Amino acid sequence: MKYLMIAIGSIGIFTLFAGCQTTPQGGRSVHASQARTAMQSFHGRILHVSEVQIVHDETGVGAAAGGILGGIAGSTVGSGRGSRLATAGGAALGAAAGSSGERARSTRPAWELEVELEDGRIMVIVQEKDDEFDVGDHVRVIESRDGTLRVRQ
């Protein structure tokens, strides 16, 4: 019975983490609502490129699911007071591991791109790393109707 609970808990945690997927935010990513809509395109060149991280808010799902799974796993150890201690320890370790896993899944490597447009305006745009950029590259800055920007080669 305890192993069945561990299996169910494992399936639950993987299902919860699958729901934590974040929407891609790179230059090559287009949201479905942007398809077949008019967008503006500006031409410019890259002035500066920096590596940054896009960090999404943690939901706490990883810690909760890890705590539950760790508690279930800990409850299979020992009996009496030892089992209660193992359950508490397993829950604490599982919560820490789940939180760490969620944090790792919610952080994405990105570029901070400073672009000088042909009209002289300078923009700084942050987007996920899905392309390579160098200072001096000629690029297009694409602005969608909702005001989001992305940089393409």
What CATH number is given to the structural domain containing 143?
Answer: 2.40.50.140
> How confident is the model over 51-88, as pLDDT tens digits?
999 997 666 665 677 668 777 877 777 777 777 777 77
Confidence of residue 89 (pLDDT cuts 50, 70, 90): confident
Domain of residue 118, residue span: 24-56+108-153
103 located within any domain: no
Is residue 30 included in any domain, yes or no? Answer: yes
Mean pLDDT throughout 5-18?
54
Structural tokens at position 39? 């967008």
Q: What is the pTM of this model?
A: 0.58
Tokens 């919610």 -> residue: 106
Residue 5 inside a domain? The answer is: no
Contact 115, 141 (CB under 8 A): yes
- Given a cut of 90, whether residue 149 has pLDDT beyond it is yes
* Confidence grade of residue 19 (pLDDT, cut at 50, 70, 90): very low
First-residue to last-residue Cα distance in the chain: 57
- Listed as own residue / partner, the contacts of 35-38 with beta carbons closer than 8 Å and 24 or more positions apart are 37/144, 37/145, 38/145
pLDDT at res. 28:
73
Domain assignment present for 98: no
| CA pair distance 17, 31, nearest whole angstrom | 22
Stretch 121-134: mean pLDDT: 96
What total of structural domains would you count in the chain? 1
Q: Which helix (H) or strand (E) holds 53?
A: strand 40-55
In this structure, is residue 128 part of a structural domain? yes
Q: Residue 63 domain-assigned? A: no
Of 74, 98, 92, 104, give the one whose Cα is nearest residue 13: 98
Is residue 100 one of the residues assigned to a domain?
no
Say if 1 falls within a structural domain. Answer: no
CA angle 38, 108, 26 (to 5 degrees): 20
